[in-house]
Amino acid sequence: MCQHQFYVAKPALKSSVTVCARMRRDLRGALLLLLTAAVQSSSMSAPGKPVLLSCRSPEKETFTCWWEPGSDGALPTTHHLYYERERLEGTYECPDYLSAGRNSCFFDKNHTSIWVDYYLTVMASNALGNATSDPFKMDVMEIVKPDAPGNVTLWVEEREASPCVHVRWMPPSNTDTKSGWVTIKYELRVKKDNSNNWKEYTSGTQTHFSLYSVSPGGVYTVQVRCLLDHGSWSEWSNTTFVKISNYLQNERPLSMLISILSAILFIMAGLILIAKRKSVKQWVLPPVPGPKIRGINSQLLQSGGSDNVGNALIIKQSFPPIYFVWEDQMEDYLIVTENEDWLSSNSQKRKKSLIPACFHFDSEIHSKESPCHQNDWEKDEEMSQVDNNNKPFTNTGYVDFQRHVENVQEADVKHVDYSRVKEVKGDNVLFLEKEKVQSSGYMDFQRQERIPEDYSRVKEVESDHLVVLQKQNAADMSCKDEGNHYTDCALHKPRKPHVCTELSDSGYVDTIPAPPLM
Amino acid sequence: MALKETDSSKLLMAVVCLVSVCSSVPISDLLDRASQGSDKLHALSTTITQDLNSHFPPIGRMIMPRPSMCHTSSLQTPSDKQQALQVSESDLLSLARSLLQAWSDPLLVLSASANTLHHPEQTSISNKIQELQLHSKSLGDGLDILSGKMGPAAQNISLLPFSGRNDIGQDRISQLINFNFLLSCFRRDSHKIDSFLKVLRCRATKTQPQMC
């Protein structure tokens, strides 16, 4: 600048020279200022104080500590970690600065003790000085934090009703799960699709878990973490996800088609059934033959009226006519008795004793309208009188006779005990023969059979209504007649006569069974 | 809390009866029950420490006495995994019992001073200390039963007297500091007991690896 000539007036020449010198001085000053400023900005100083951040033991056997260095003072700075330990004299330096990365110190198994306090300090040093961090006190038991579980695998089990997802994982590789030195607990969390709602589950000490509340068509994300005894939870494992196929939807049209076809088939089958319902009914429910009584006109029975009923029940076929005693109609009764005296005494004044004695012949009729009622029997005074005197029904039994119309030698004669009627007196007394009839006669029987207990032999029949029965000798008789064939003769001997007649509703004359004698 | 105490002591009594009558309760079950108890004990002590530290003046942390001054520090215990796995079962049980026994008196001191503690969480801390006492008692009873099944060495209990530091401190700060110190000693010892019992449990159930 000073080279520039200023054309000024003669008297200003001196001032230009002064300005140039001043400028030079300023320039030097400015340069000096700049230099000092430059020097000051990159100050080499002692390092700043480092800060110990944290320590961590992943398996309760080793641990690592990290620090944050302070400013380095523009000089190469080194950091050293020193520690003191409870129950150990002296100060020691970190055994391993490298394994765990920058600004860290790794204590291996040989240098790790538990239940003792460590006092750590980090010193930063450079050419200009040192800086020491605040002491950091720690005990291994308090800094336990495991690594995340590994190898998290998922698979979907596709069950019919609902799928489920099985999760499996491995414990962190550096953890000892066999000696009991540490006890691991697991936790997992699941989220569906892209939502932010995680659902957490505790798995205890198991390394597997099953999720059942999953729906098809979703993408499920699963993470697992673990904890050692009383330490801190590990980080969540890497994300694993699985997609559940939407198979149900694919199968839907097929199942719909199947259901429609089967519905059509059912409808067709139903229509066919309805169209042919009669034959189906025939086949499914074959008609059961109703009870048909020969010679009875069921329609007449149904139409009611005593006449009709009577007519209906009369056999019109080749059966012999049957006598029926009716309450209010037929008054022809057959008196059955054993007492001959009665016979004689009453022979004259035989009245129309209304002794209902009913005979049911070998027929298939079981009429419900019993013509015989005990009431009539009881009502009859004459009868009672007769009864007192003679006890005609001492041993009434079933008297069965078959009107013999056809050939004697008829093969289908029923083997019932028969007596031959000796004499008929009047119209309601029959005298029956004592002995058994051996030859064919009025009454016929093919065989000689013993008379059962409760049967009586008809001794004689007096008139149309009176049948005199044999007194209690039936057993003897049979014994007498037949010899020793019948072993139960002895049984019958001391039998007492029993008086009662029981006229059952069916019209049978039946004795009341004898009390057992044995 | 009273319920828990009766529950655990009832359970223990049931175990005792079972042992005396049937004498067929397996050691593994007893150890499992004991390690659950010790786990609970340590968890409680951690909770109390957290309660205490939530309002603890930061200065106090710096001037805390060294833990080597815990009254149980004279007991030689394993200090890493290798050493711990080399100790015999009876010795491990004996160590656990000794440690637990050593705290029966100091817990009373803690309990008494918790009532007068100047701390915002004083009530909660005091209740938990009482719970701690009950659990400690029931665990001690359980370990006594176990020791009967484990050999003569398990019967030895080292006496660790608590040198009558009944006065926690006059002023608030020293009171808190001493309380915190005593609690930290207890925390360490309860962690030791828990670890030893879990190692024992795992050793006793070789057929059930899920117990480890």
- At A148 the three-state DSSP class reads coil
Q: What is the pLDDT of residues B117-172, one digit of tens each?
A: 888 888 999 999 999 999 999 999 999 999 988 878 888 888 888 875 666 567 88
Q: Do A230 and B80 touch (CB under 8 A)?
A: no
B65 or B173: which leads in pLDDT: B173
Interior/surface letters A30-58, b for 16+ CB within 10 angstroms, e for the rest: eeeeeeeeeeeeeeeebbebbebeebbbb
The chain A residue lying nearest B212, using CA atoms, is A180
Q: Could you tell me if A119 lies within 8 Å of chain B, comparing CB atoms?
A: no
At which residue do the structure tokens 């815990």 appear?
B70
Nearest to A113 among B42, B79, B85 (CB): B79
Q: Do A229 and B194 touch (CB under 8 A)?
A: yes
Q: What residues 56-115 of chain B have any CB closer than 8 A to a CB of chain A?
A: 66-68, 77, 79-82, 84-85
- At A374 the three-state DSSP class reads helix
A350 contacts A426 by C-beta, under 8 angstroms: yes
Q: Do A139 and B198 touch (CB under 8 A)?
A: no
pLDDT band at B13 (very low <50, low <70, confident <90, very high): confident
Helices marked H in A451-511 — which ranges?
Answer: 474-482, 489-492
Nearest-neighbour CA in chain A from B203: distance (Å): 7
Tell me the C-alpha distance between B136 and B158, whole Å. Answer: 17
> pLDDT averaged over chain B?
85
Q: Do A181 and B66 touch (CB under 8 A)?
A: no
Interface test with B, best of A85, A113, A115, A142 (most B CBs within 10 A): A115
Q: Do A109 and B203 touch (CB under 8 A)?
A: no
pLDDT in tens, chain A (518 residues): 444 444 444 555 556 667 767 878 888 877 777 766 655 556 688 888 999 999 999 999 999 999 999 888 888 889 999 999 988 999 999 999 999 999 999 999 999 999 999 999 999 998 888 899 999 999 999 999 999 998 898 888 887 777 888 999 999 999 998 888 999 999 999 998 888 899 999 998 899 999 988 888 888 999 999 999 999 999 999 888 888 777 655 566 778 889 999 999 999 999 999 998 888 888 888 888 877 777 666 666 666 666 666 665 655 555 555 555 444 455 555 666 666 555 544 444 444 444 444 444 444 344 444 444 444 444 444 444 444 444 444 444 444 444 444 444 444 444 455 667 677 677 666 666 665 544 444 444 444 445 555 666 777 777 766 666 676 544 444 444 444 444 444 444 444 444 444 444 444 444 555 454 44
**Beta strands per DSSP E along A136-261:** 136-139, 150-157, 164-170, 184-192, 199-204, 208-211, 219-228, 240-243
* Per-residue pLDDT, A367: 41
Q: What residues 166-195 of chain B have any CB closer than 8 A to a CB of chain A?
A: 188, 191-192, 194-195
Nearest-neighbour CA in chain A from B21: distance (Å): 31
Q: Do B85 and A205 touch (CB under 8 A)?
A: no
Dihedral angle sign, alpha carbons of residues A29, A33, A38, A44: positive
Tell me the C-alpha distance between A357 and A401, whole Å. Answer: 14
pTM of the model: 0.57
Neighbours of A409 (CB within 10 A): 9
Residue A176 with chain B: CB contacts under 8 Å: 81
At which residue do the structure tokens 């072993």 appear?
A487
User: Phi/psi of residue A242, each to 5°?
Assistant: -145, 145
A352 vs A154, A282, A378, CA distance in Å? 109, 56, 15
CA A342 to chain centre: 78
Residue A87 with chain B: CB contacts under 8 Å: 68, 79
The chain B residue lying nearest A204, using CA atoms, is B210
* Per-residue pLDDT, A403: 47
Among residues B162, B107, B169, B151, the alpha carbon closest in space to that of B132 is found at: B107
Helices marked H in A335-423 — which ranges?
Answer: 340-348, 374-379, 381-390
Among residues A408, A436, A406, A411, the alpha carbon closest in space to that of A421 is found at: A436
Return the structure tokens found at A56: 């961590």
Q: Which amino acid does the sequence have at A2?
A: C
The chain A residue lying nearest B70, using CA atoms, is A116
| Overall size of chain A counted in residues | 518
As beta bridge partners, residue A463 has A429
Classify burial at A467, counting beta carbons within 10 Å of its beta carbon; exposed 0-12, middle 13-18, buried 19 or more.
Answer: buried
Q: Do B80 and A109 touch (CB under 8 A)?
A: yes
* Per-residue pLDDT, A296: 63
Q: Quickly list DSSP for A53-95.
A: EEEEBSSSS-EEEEEE----TTS--EEEEEEEETTEEEEEE-S
Q: Do B212 and A183 touch (CB under 8 A)?
A: yes
Residue B203 with chain A: CB contacts under 8 Å: 180
Tell me the C-alpha distance between B182 and B69, whole Å. Answer: 10
Q: Do A86 and B46 touch (CB under 8 A)?
A: no
Q: Could you tell me if B39 lies within 8 Å of chain A, comparing CB atoms?
A: yes
Size of interface A-B (CB pairs under 8 A): 67
Helices marked H in A459-517 — which ranges?
Answer: 474-482, 489-492
Residue B193 with chain A: CB contacts under 8 Å: none
Helices marked H in B22-121 — which ranges?
Answer: 27-54, 58-62, 81-86, 89-102, 104-114
Nearest to B42 among A86, A117, A230 (CB): A230
As beta bridge partners, residue A431 has A423
Interface test with B, best of A181, A186, A205 (most B CBs within 10 A): A181
> Kind of pairing, strands A428-432 and A458-464?
antiparallel
Residue B39 with chain A: CB contacts under 8 Å: 229-230
